[in-house]
């Protein structure tokens, strides 16, 4: 993964085996490339002054995050002109590696008929049942990507050497 590596010692791994992993700051281009490879993310916003998270499938279109939803959803009714965050990731617990991208931007309900017609042709098939004929976009003003990987050959304290199975029974 391109980016600037930052060596970080995990408390759990460091206490058991002294192993180091890497957090890698991903640049905007790499973050957007990874984001485009994901199909599901988390929409983060406030509702009645409390943080709220919704799983959403999405696509990238015109440099924007595109959500397709129903008219009666919170996303369609409440998010227009609101600053929101959107996060997508691909993590592998077995290898302690993966990436996460968080985007902060302004949500907007799409009302322009030409844009709506164009967005209907984007390969974004809603997973939720029912008619999903409303579109919400999120600008990609702030994009922060991080990659993480465990050092090769490091010990996972919960699984034994190099992630192998470990028998915790006492004899």
For 15-24, write each residue's pLDDT tens digit.
333 356 788 9
- Name the more confident of 14 and 84: 84
CA distance 27 to 4: 8
DSSP 8-state symbol, 96: T
Q: What domains appear along the chain, each with residue ranges and CATH number?
A: 27-90+99-144 (2.30.110.10)
Give the CA angle between residues 87, 34, 130 to the nearest 5°. 55
> Cα 102 from chain centroid?
6
CA distance 139 to 141: 6
Q: Using 50, 70 and 90 to split pLDDT, how confident is the model at 167? A: very low
DSSP 8-state symbol, 30: H
pLDDT reading at 93 higher than 70: yes
Pair 21, 13: CB distance under 8 Å = yes
pLDDT reading at 163 higher than 50: no
């Amino acid at each position: 993964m391109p980016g600037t590596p930052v060596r970080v010692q995990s408390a759990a791994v460091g206490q058991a085996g002294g192993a180091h992993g890497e957090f890698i700051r991903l640049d905007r281009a790499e973050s957007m490339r990874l984001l485009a490879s994901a199909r599901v993310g988390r929409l983060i916003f406030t509702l009645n002054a409390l943080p709220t998270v919704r799983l959403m499938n999405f696509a990238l279109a015109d440099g924007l995050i595109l959500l397709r939803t129903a008219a009666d959803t919170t996303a369609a009714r409440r998010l227009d002109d609101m600053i929101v965050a959107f996060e997508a990731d691909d993590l592998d617990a077995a290898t302690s590696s993966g990436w996460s991208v968080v985007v902060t931007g302004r949500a907007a309900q799409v009302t322009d008929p030409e844009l709506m017609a164009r967005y209907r042709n984007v390969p974004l098939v809603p997973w939720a049942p029912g008619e999903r004929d409303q579109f919400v976009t999120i600008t990609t003003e702030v994009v922060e990507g991080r990659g993480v990987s465990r050092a090769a050959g490091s010990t996972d304290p919960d699984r034994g050497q190099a992630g192998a199975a470990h028998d915790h029974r006492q004899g």
